[in-house]
Amino acid sequence: MIKLVNIFRKAMIIVLTVFVLATVIPTNTKGFETKSKKRMFEFRGAWVATVSNIDIGKQYGSTESAIEIYKQQFLNLLNVFEEYNLNVVIFQVRPLNDAFYKSSINPWSRFLIGTEGVDPGWDPMEWMIEEVHKRNMEFHAWMNPYRTSLDVVPKTGDYENEKIAYLSTLDDKNFAKQNPNLLVRGVHDKNLSTARLLLNPAREEVRQHIYNTISEVVRNYDVDAVHFDDYFYNGVDHSEDAIDYNSYKQSGGTFSKNDWRREQVNILIKGIHNLMKKLNTNLGKNVEFGISPAGVWAPSTECPAPYGQPGGMAGIVCYSYSSYVDLFADTRKWVNEEWIDYILPQNYGSFYRPNHKAITSWWANEVKDKNVKLYIGLAPYQYNSFNDGWDIPDMSDQLDYGYSFDTVSGFAMYNISNLKTATNNNMRTALDNLKARWIEPVFLPIKTLKTINDYSEPNVTVSRSNFYIALNFAPHQTAYAYAIYRIEKGQPFNPDSEKMFDIIYNQNKTFQIDYPANREKAYQFYIKTLYGDGKFGDEFLTLSVDSYDSNSRPEIKNLNLNTSLLVIEEKTMLNISGELYDADGDLLTVTIRISNRVLNDIILVGVEKQFSRDIYIPDFSFNRAYFIVTVSDGIDSISANTRPFYVPARHYTKLMQHIMTIEIITNDTVEKIYQ
């Protein structure tokens, strides 16, 4: 029987090697013309912002139904990732000093469950990672290291009372609530009268808590990377950390206040680098550490101090928002010291304004000869009329310009919602152009190249059923991944022009891949192996599969109707279950209908060997009702009835009804008693 299994395990990511083919992608340019080469290895990501539920809503309650609704929200987002052939999910797991995962040191997030600290009844991140890996994507755990609140305190004057009031709303597990003396105020938006609370970057206790947070996630979850954005010393007035700086000066420190602040962040970033290296070694993992800062490090000395800096970005508008000056984050140093695995500058401006090209080209030069990958962050939200209202070719020109640099190894889009829904015609056309550009999947670059001698072909067999074709892979010690092409049998195959059908990462064990297929069509598969040293095999492995012209009707075995283990006061829950068999291995659809049509039909899809469903029976009279269970494989179906059940008449009290119902619905002699 063909099963849908968790087929896509964690894909290793990114090396400086970039393999390119000579195929040219057509461009639609306004201010830049280039021939962009088709890449086989590329980072294609998008951010999923959870703060203020920007990209995904809350889970309302901890019931099974509430959890399923939340899961469906996430799966809908993954469908958007697949629609654009993206391969990296950057999911915000720590928006406000909290957690979207089970943690012993951070509370559950209010943006997950509505109230901070409330258990959602499951571990969302564990499940999300599994779903992301099934789809051949990576999961990057996006954390805000310092941010503790949104705008909750006044931006000027005393704010102690407001701080205390806010902290009182937090869960007792929250580090900020436990340590109110470790907070500083930061102005995020100068146009507002309010400010935010941040953990003080100068305090060792803060750094240790961040280290502990990262360690907990890397140890307990199969994340592919830990990801920071641009949130460091955001709008923190110098009075906020004057005591810390004065203490440093009194102990003999020589840094200026600005350099001292940068050093506090440097200590954290270097500490995380050392931590990740130790964790990866001890755990046998390969988790990366990446940062997505403001696009501008600092302007060049063409601009006056303090913005202009030696080695800065030429052609940048003076006083542009800068990591080095405004956030006290020396992102250039982190690249030079190779403390991070990738840098993803947020280059969110229009291609036709001065900063965009200057940012991309400067960073492309900075990462040369460094063991740090460069990806460029783009902002499709700028097509919105309430933002910049870009012209159609803007993002296409940005991509073409990025592709013109060998050191630009990919892109990320902020945010996934803006890829999901276009708000105007320009945006819709630009997104369609992006889908056309990224019409094929790409490999995540190999993180660690291996020296190998075995270039043997993989051992792959093929089988099929009504609606699926299964590729079965035997273990292979030196393969990294497989490029899969699929065409209808009898059609010509040209690998230079044929679109890649899928990418499969080797699991070093026997595994199976299932693809939907038209039962009336025959197919030809062409498989090329990518080995662990980054080289492709010389030949394609070819597999043929004929059309499927027979079908076996599904069977229902052991259909049962019982009192559910879920007993709710004044409510009756029945449990209906059964064992199913389909000789073709088809996934089945089960429809449960009550004979008197009082309840809505229940439809279960993708069922394999068995099913079980709890059903609420309302407290009114049912006389010899039964359930009709229909099982379909999409071609043939079969039905069976459960035995009858009864619910007492309305003149009994609800409590009496409930007790009697529980008693009689499983009693085979009830017909005699009831009649």
Per-residue pLDDT tens over the stretch 30-64: 445 555 567 899 999 999 999 999 999 999 999 98
Pairwise CA distance, residues 673 & 183, whole Å: 71
Pairwise pLDDT comparison (324 vs 670), residue with the higher score: 324
Pairwise CA distance, residues 102 & 123, whole Å: 6
Residue 9 has pLDDT above 70, yes or no: no
The string of pLDDT tens digits covering residues 417-440 is 999 999 999 999 999 999 999 999
Residue 532 has pLDDT above 50, yes or no: yes
Same domain, 24 and 133: yes
Our CA dihedral for 491, 494, 497, 503, rounded to 10 degrees, sits at 90
Lowest mean pLDDT among 13-27, 281-295, 597-611, 636-650: 13-27
Residue 165 has pLDDT above 70, yes or no: yes
Confidence at 377, pLDDT banded by 50, 70, 90: very high
Pairwise CA distance, residues 240 & 235, whole Å: 10
Residue 475 has pLDDT above 70, yes or no: yes
- For residue 24, the model assigns a pLDDT of 29
- For residue 664, the model assigns a pLDDT of 53
- For residue 234, the model assigns a pLDDT of 95
Whole domain around residue 661: which residue ranges? 555-674
Q: Is 253 helix (H, G, I), strand (E, B) or coil?
A: coil
Which parts of 71-228 are beta strand (E)? 88-94, 138-143, 153-154, 183-186, 194-199, 225-228
Q: Is 135 helix (H, G, I), strand (E, B) or coil?
A: coil
Confidence at 565, pLDDT banded by 50, 70, 90: low
Same domain, 491 and 571: no
Could you give the number of structural domains in the chain? 3
The domain that holds 107 is classified in CATH as 3.20.20.80
Percent of the chain with pLDDT over 90: 76
Q: What is the mean pLDDT of the chain?
A: 89
Same domain, 223 and 338: yes
Which residues, listed in sequence order, are joined to residue 589 by a DSSP beta bridge? 632
Same domain, 468 and 339: no
Evaluate if pTM is beyond 0.85. no
Confidence at 410, pLDDT banded by 50, 70, 90: very high
- For residue 660, the model assigns a pLDDT of 57
Same domain, 665 and 567: yes
The string of pLDDT tens digits covering residues 181-240 is 999 999 999 999 999 999 999 999 999 999 999 999 999 999 999 999 999 999 999 999
- For residue 41, the model assigns a pLDDT of 94
Residue 282 has pLDDT above 50, yes or no: yes
Give the tokens for residue 369: 């000869």
Pairwise pLDDT comparison (597 vs 492), residue with the higher score: 492
Confidence at 104, pLDDT banded by 50, 70, 90: very high
Same domain, 409 and 475: no
Residue 650 has pLDDT above 60, yes or no: no
Same domain, 427 and 574: no
The string of pLDDT tens digits covering residues 313-332 is 999 999 999 999 999 999 99
Same domain, 513 and 574: no
Tokens 């302007």 correspond to what residue?
299
Pairwise CA distance, residues 411 & 387, whole Å: 21
Give the tokens for residue 173: 């597990």
- For residue 443, the model assigns a pLDDT of 94
The domain that holds 503 is classified in CATH as 2.60.40.10
Single out the residue in 385, 405, 437 at which a domain terminates: 437
The angle, 0 to 180 degrees and rounded to 10, between the axes of the packed helices 204-220 and 257-283 is: 30
Pairwise pLDDT comparison (567 vs 108), residue with the higher score: 108
